[in-house]
Amino acid sequence: MNRHNIRIWRTENPRATMEHVRDLPKVNVFCAVSSCKVYGPFFFAEPAVTGINYLDMLQLWLMPQLQEDSEYFIFQQDGAPPHFHFDVRAHLSAYLLGRWIGRTSHNDSPLLTWPP
């Protein structure tokens, strides 16, 4: 709870507590767009998208579809934390050598680096 948003004024300590619900249920959805097709939606089953479940989605769901449709494509992602996960970047560098755009470190091999 953000205690800066709640004020209780009394002459004595009221020992008051307030319950606050955090992390309401969410839906995380992924979609990819190409010049001729929309891939998705893909609904993540987990409450938060991590590098590991993002990599699973890439390996098991998206990449097989992309490679089935065309061998010639460039994959672009933004700088979101799951996209910058070491295993995700290692996978993209190994399987899409010079054909991906995203946030990188010195060991990666993208086509372009996502701008800061």
C-alpha to C-alpha distance for 65 and 84, rounded to whole angstroms: 22
Q: What is the pTM of this model?
A: 0.75
Q: What is the domain partition of the chain in residue ranges?
A: 49-113
Residue 72 pLDDT more than 60?
yes
Whole-Å CA distances, 86 to 50, 78, 107: 11, 15, 10
Could you report the per-residue pLDDT of 77-101, keeping only the tens digit for each?
Answer: 998 999 999 999 999 999 999 999 9
